[in-house]
Structure 1
């Protein structure tokens, strides 16, 4: 065993929101960058990103959505409405007094990031929405609800593991791909399936034109969850938006790309106003 060395040092925040504890972490100082994770996951997805952002002069702010990671599950149970997550994130932004934040998210986190940017208007200073579009036609809510009972074979944990392997891009090394899948299989399947129900329902097309901050929509060329047409339409509907396609990358750029912080830093600096 090698000697341990510090990777990233941050500050933990427990906030009470709607009678439940909500968890967030901050790393570094400077313009805040809110980082929103994907379905069923937690802020741990950004573990390889936060140190690099802090070193480059940003304040990385990582949240665990309600019922994920160290944030308590709402009293009513798992959430299937991304609108609730977006408003919760805005509450965290207010509670931590994050001024002119950049908003970054992936998958449902990318869709939530689009929603947050629309809610904040001129208060947001930039947006990077990855693996997301305004209206998802690739998920069927009825089929997702049928998967909630734990009576299928293979197990839901195995489906998560092998599904995550398949969702990674072709450029990802096998060892890294296996690590990503191992992390993902930790998720609570009831929470993650409700997340996906929310993803299938949530339609942001009516509010895209209200996003006023510089924006970037990012998709992986190997991401089978999204189609080029819906990504193109989403980017075209946002007034100041660039579309980036990442070759060899699947659904989780921040986990798949080595030194993703450097890439994200470049995108964020392009949005300086």
Structure 2
């Protein structure tokens, strides 16, 4: 069955790839983002473009209402909008930390609230939350980003059980390293925030390591395939993971103690 799908953060990276590939499968795809000019390419393919800021209540309400009014249904929400506010926890202004959680957690939560009534009415829906392996393990200098993804994981677990009786599934996708503008923005922010103080050595080493490994990260289609599984499966898994180092790191998190994980991470930053 072809579905009506809303994807946030569709102006770049994984979100844009989701939109392009799900459209090929015959679904009705709405791509939402603030930067409408960045979506001209997928608009030309047939993706329906919506202006949406996941920190703005009015734009979220209007976007969801418009889709339901036009299509009569909304089957899949992909909460993909997000970014990484990197820097030592001590250094990151608390206003920036709040904005990190506002985008990565509260935006996803509010959109979920807005689509659930329609999905319950249909007795069918899929809410797919794009988390990260950083929602299961935390490296230094990414504390606020990890806090947002840990929160999204817990929120998803609670929501999954609340809405299951109404025919709604909640699925978490946990990407590892994936090619996008995300890393460059996060590392630029890291150096800006913590590159000239007490954490300078660690910050510059972390940024250099990220840049060095940039050529090894996976293409977005690796995650797009997982999203397709989450949409197409009659009984989707609660979690899917993929991308650069996702499998090994999640395995190590399961078998190693906190102290051993600390040593592993810090050994990379000496």
The structure with the greater share of residues assigned to helix is 2
The structure with the greater share of residues assigned to strand is 1
TM-score w.r.t. the length of structure 1 is 0.41
TM-score w.r.t. the length of structure 2 is 0.41
Larger Rg: 1 or 2? 2
**Which structure has more RCO (C-alpha within 8 Å, separation ≥ 6)?**
1
